[in-house]
Copies of this chain bind each other. A is one copy, B any other.
Amino acid sequence: MRIPALLTLASLLVVATPAAAQPKPEAVLTTKGYQAAVNVLDRDHDRLVAEIIKLTEIPAPPFKEAARAKAYAEMLREAGLADVEIDEEGNAMGVYRGTGPAGGPMVMIAAHLDTVFPEGTPIKVRREGTRLSAPGIGDDTRGLAVLLSYARAMKESGIKVRQDIVFVGNVGEEGPGDLRGVRYLLTKGKYKDRVKSFFSMDGTDASRIVVGGVGSKRYRITYKGPGGHSYGAFGLVNPMVAMSQTVVDFYKIPVPTKPKATYSASVTGGGTSVNSIPNEVFMEFDMRSENREELAKVEKAFLAIVQKSVEGENAARSTKEGAVSADVKLIGDRPAGETASTQQIVRNAEAIVRAKGLTPKPSFSSTDSNMPMSLGIPAVTIGSGGVGDRSHSLDEWIDVEKSKSLEGASIGLGILLATAGMQ
Question: Is A232 a contact partner of B272 (Cβ separation < 8 A)?
Answer: no
Interface footprint category on A: 35 or more
Q: How far is the CB of A223 from the nearest CB of chain B, in Å?
A: 11
Question: Is B275 a contact partner of A229 (Cβ separation < 8 A)?
Answer: no
> Contact mask A223-248 → B, CB, 8 Å, 1/0?
00011111111100010110111111
In the complex, whether A281 has a CB less than 8 A from a CB of chain B is yes
Distance, CA A241 to CA B264, complexed state (A): 10
In the complex, whether A174 has a CB less than 8 A from a CB of chain B is yes
Closest to A228 in B: B393
Q: Which of A260-304 contact B (CB under 8 A)?
A: 260, 262-279, 281, 283-286, 288
With a cutoff of 8 Å between Cβ atoms, the chain B residues found around residue A234 in the complex are 260, 262-264
Distance, CA A390 to CA B246, complexed state (A): 27
Q: A62-B273, A245-B248, A272-B393 are in contact. List 17 more A-B contacts (CB 8 A).
A: A116-B272, A117-B273, A227-B394, A228-B391, A228-B392, A230-B264, A232-B392, A233-B393, A238-B265, A240-B268, A243-B244, A251-B316, A264-B275, A264-B276, A271-B284, A274-B332, A279-B394
- A-side residues, CB < 8 A to B, are 62, 116-118, 174-176, 214, 216, 218, 220, 226-234, 238, 240-241, 243-248, 251, 260, 262-279, 281, 283-286, 288, 316, 321, 331-332, 365-366, 390-395
- Could you list some 23 contacts between A and B, CB below 8 A? A117-B272, A118-B272, A175-B275, A175-B276, A216-B275, A218-B275, A226-B395, A228-B393, A231-B288, A231-B366, A232-B391, A234-B260, A238-B265, A243-B244, A244-B245, A245-B248, A267-B274, A268-B281, A273-B392, A275-B366, A276-B393, A277-B392, A321-B393
